[in-house]
Amino acid sequence: MSWIILIFILLVASIKNRESEQKISVSVVIPAYNEVKTVENVVKVVKSLNYIEEVIVVDDGSSDGTAEAAERAGATIIKHLKNKGKGAALNTGFKKSTGDIVAFIDADLENLTKNQVENIINPILDGKTDVTKTKFRRKAGRVTELTAKPLLNFFFPELKFEQPLSGQFAAKRSFLNNIKFEEDYGVDVGIVLDADVRGMKIKEVDIGKIEHSHSPIGSLNKMANEVVRTIVDRAMEYGRVSMMDTLGKYIRMSILGLSLTSLGLFSIFFINKIPAWFGTILFLAGLVLAIYYIAKLVKRGYTVIIRSDRKSPTAKSFLYMHFPILVSALILLAMIFTFMGSVHITDSGISVQPASSNLVWKSPANSSIPLDVRGPYTVDSALEYEYNILRFPIDVLRTLEVNYGDSIYIKDENYTIIPNRPGEENILRIPSDARTYLGLDIGTVLLDNNIRNTFKNSYVEKKIPINGNIGNSSIEEGIFIKTSNNEGRIVNIYVDNKKVATTKGIFQNGTYSIYINNIKYRNIYVDDDNSTSYAYWGRYTIKIEIGDKATSNAEFATSNEGKFLNLVFK
């Protein structure tokens, strides 16, 4: 019984698949201009295929009863009041059609068969291709052999079609919606070229022998002009002209040379995984290439401008063509000047440290401008008699998250942070002993993203901003500077049941000291649970509330390391 049910399910699935395949709709568009003798038979052949849902004949200004003959055969008729050209007729018919696949078939075919139409449409229905074009057995066309093929071989050598101008073809609507229909006889080759450049699958199908009415030499001349114009236009649009001419080669090679020079320079100073010798080779090779081809461009441009009767327009044209080279050269010059400005000469040698990674994201709540540019900073000596003074720019304080007046300990020595002097916005003035301990020399350039690493694990006695009025009192915390965020806790401080300050930092399970007026008052134990501690000083009741979790890049000092909190009442 189960086998019968399984077979039934498979049959139903198969039927549904066939139905879904049959849901792909097909339209046929037939352009016609004075084709009363043949159009009726063409329509009848197309309509004999039951999966073709609509047949549209576009009467392109005929005067011989073409529209009436097509209507008798059952086609939908669209009329142009005057002759606009084959491409315009195809475009009109396509816009009025609704099929997922649209086939275009000429109205002047004298012996069209049902099998020939199926050969055009079925490869797309079967999912084998996106576009079909036809070839057929007849004497080679003069326009094809003398104009189309030579031009295509030059500009589009990847196309190897026997009959690139065959008027019968079909394509998916999704592709046709995104291309331009030429208004004249260039429409056929234009669609093929658009499909090729867009990476569509194109299949040339053999439909056997067909008979066309022969065109007079005047019509062939017009057709040849339109085909040539379309191929050349597409070649220019898709960059095939600049890929082949000498000037285009010079431009491409100059840009390549400048790009390699920039890449080499960039890799030497920024990309650690690329060896310096390889970056140097890139830089030198690109520089030689750029100089060689730019010299050729200058020489050629000078010759053309001198020979020109209209020198100003010619010079403007060359400037327009060479604009990408100018931009590449400006980028390279900007990089070179940036690096030269970052060269520092010391007793130990020459170092280059470009100013990068100085962009800092700021919370929109703190500033209307979300990006802040900080640094780079240059290390300099302390001023006379300022043995325990650090002069820092305001941006350094923002990065370290400290304040002016805070004390920072370097090798157990206490240094007070104060503002730098006017005109020294990017100078760090550090006394000699502190510089030696931190491994800094006079002239060393520090990027903003290296500041926290330079002062990593330094102990800071930091003032906490106070909300409310508790006289001239102040609150300090003891923290260690860290380089990355870790899970910490929020600390709320209350005086007489009023929250006067909030801070946050990283705790290690252990003992922390509370000081009042620089005298240790008591120790508290902090673990993973929220805790509250009280202290009393004169008439003040102080509550220390260790609350919710929060990320922080500062670590609170334990009782063995420093002062967790120091409340100073005056």
Per-residue model confidence as pLDDT tens digits over 479-503: 999 988 899 999 999 988 889 999 9
Residue 5 CA to residue 390 CA, distance in Å, equals 87
Q: Does the pLDDT value for residue 90 go beyond 70?
A: yes
Q: How confident is the model at residue 370 (pLDDT cuts 50, 70, 90)?
A: low
In degrees and rounded to multiples of 5, residue 76 shows phi and psi of -80, 130
Tokens, residue 433: 């002993």
Q: Does the pLDDT value for residue 132 go beyond 60?
A: yes
Reported as type and span, the H/E element at residue 66 is: helix 66-72
Residue 97 CA to residue 10 CA, distance in Å, equals 36
Per-residue model confidence as pLDDT tens digits over 210-234: 766 655 655 667 778 888 888 888 8
Q: How confident is the model at residue 445 (pLDDT cuts 50, 70, 90)?
A: confident
Q: Does the pLDDT value for residue 18 go beyond 50?
A: no
Neighbours of 387 (CB within 10 A): 13
Could you check whether 22-237 and 359-455 share the same CATH topology?
A: no
Q: Are 502 and 492 in contact (CB under 8 A)?
A: yes
Tokens, residue 451: 């500041």
Please give the single-letter amino acid code of residue 467. N
Q: Does the pLDDT value for residue 554 go beyond 90?
A: yes
User: What is the mean pLDDT of the segment spanning 242-271?
Assistant: 77
Please give the single-letter amino acid code of residue 190. G
Residue 334 CA to residue 244 CA, distance in Å, equals 32
Q: Could you give the residue ranges of the DSSP H alpha helices within 104-245?
A: 114-125, 142-143, 149-155, 173-176, 187-197, 217-237
User: What is the mean pLDDT of the segment spanning 526-538?
Assistant: 81
Q: Does the pLDDT value for residue 345 go beyond 70?
A: no
Which residue in 493, 511, 506 sits closest to 554, CA to CA?
Answer: 506
For residue 140, the model assigns a pLDDT of 47
Residue whose tokens read 């331009």: 180
Per-residue model confidence as pLDDT tens digits over 64-85: 889 999 999 999 999 999 999 8
For residue 360, the model assigns a pLDDT of 57
Q: Does the pLDDT value for residue 32 go beyond 60?
A: yes
DSSP character at residue 391 = E
User: 312: burial class by Cβ within 10 Å (0-12, 13-18, 19+)?
Assistant: exposed
Q: Does the pLDDT value for residue 142 go beyond 70?
A: no
Q: Does the pLDDT value for residue 506 go beyond 90?
A: yes
For residue 124, the model assigns a pLDDT of 93
Q: Does the pLDDT value for residue 156 go beyond 50?
A: yes
Q: In this predicted structure, which of 203-207, 272-276, 452-456, 561-565 has the lowest mean pLDDT?
A: 272-276
Q: What does the angle CA 385 – CA 388 – CA 393 come to, to the nearest 5 degrees?
A: 95
Which residue in 509, 423, 425, 417 sits closest to 455, CA to CA?
Answer: 417
User: 566: burial class by Cβ within 10 Å (0-12, 13-18, 19+)?
Assistant: buried
Superfamily covering domain 22-237: Spore Coat Polysaccharide Biosynthesis Protein SpsA; Chain A (3.90.550.10)
Helix, strand and coil percent figures for the chain, each rounded to 5 = 40, 30, 35
More confident residue, 333 or 562: 562
Q: In this predicted structure, which of 188-202, 406-420, 432-446 has the lowest mean pLDDT?
A: 188-202
Residue 130 CA to residue 199 CA, distance in Å, equals 10
Neighbours of 510 (CB within 10 A): 14
Q: In this predicted structure, which of 238-247, 292-301, 450-459, 525-534 has the lowest mean pLDDT?
A: 238-247
For residue 425, the model assigns a pLDDT of 85
Q: Are 455 and 401 in contact (CB under 8 A)?
A: no
The torsion region of residue 155 among left (phi > 0), alpha (psi -120 to 50) and beta comes to alpha
For residue 507, the model assigns a pLDDT of 93
DSSP assignment of 302-358: HHHHHH-S-HHHHHHHHHHHTHHHHHHHHHHHHHHHHHHTTEEEETTEEEE----S-
Neighbours of 552 (CB within 10 A): 21
In degrees and rounded to multiples of 5, residue 238 shows phi and psi of -95, 15
Q: Are 109 and 32 in contact (CB under 8 A)?
A: no
Which positions ≥6 away from 9 have C-beta within 8 Å?
none
Tokens, residue 293: 């081809």
Residue 228 CA to residue 223 CA, distance in Å, equals 9
Q: Does the pLDDT value for residue 172 go beyond 90?
A: yes
Q: How confident is the model at residue 109 (pLDDT cuts 50, 70, 90)?
A: confident
pTM, to two decimals: 0.47
Q: Are 108 and 149 in contact (CB under 8 A)?
A: no
Hey, what CATH topology would domain 359-455 get?
A: Barwin-like endoglucanases (2.40.40)
Which residue in 58, 136, 132 sits closest to 101, CA to CA?
Answer: 132
For residue 402, the model assigns a pLDDT of 93
Whole-Å CA distances, 147 to 152, 154, 156, 180, 319 = 9, 11, 13, 22, 33
Q: In this predicted structure, which of 177-191, 228-242, 363-377, 433-447 has the lowest mean pLDDT?
A: 363-377
Q: How confident is the model at residue 111 (pLDDT cuts 50, 70, 90)?
A: confident
For residue 233, the model assigns a pLDDT of 81
Tokens, residue 414: 């206490």
User: What are the sequence ranges of the domains in the chain?
Assistant: 22-237, 246-340, 359-455, 463-568
Residue 312 CA to residue 318 CA, distance in Å, equals 10
Strands (E), 9-87: 26-32, 52-60, 76-80
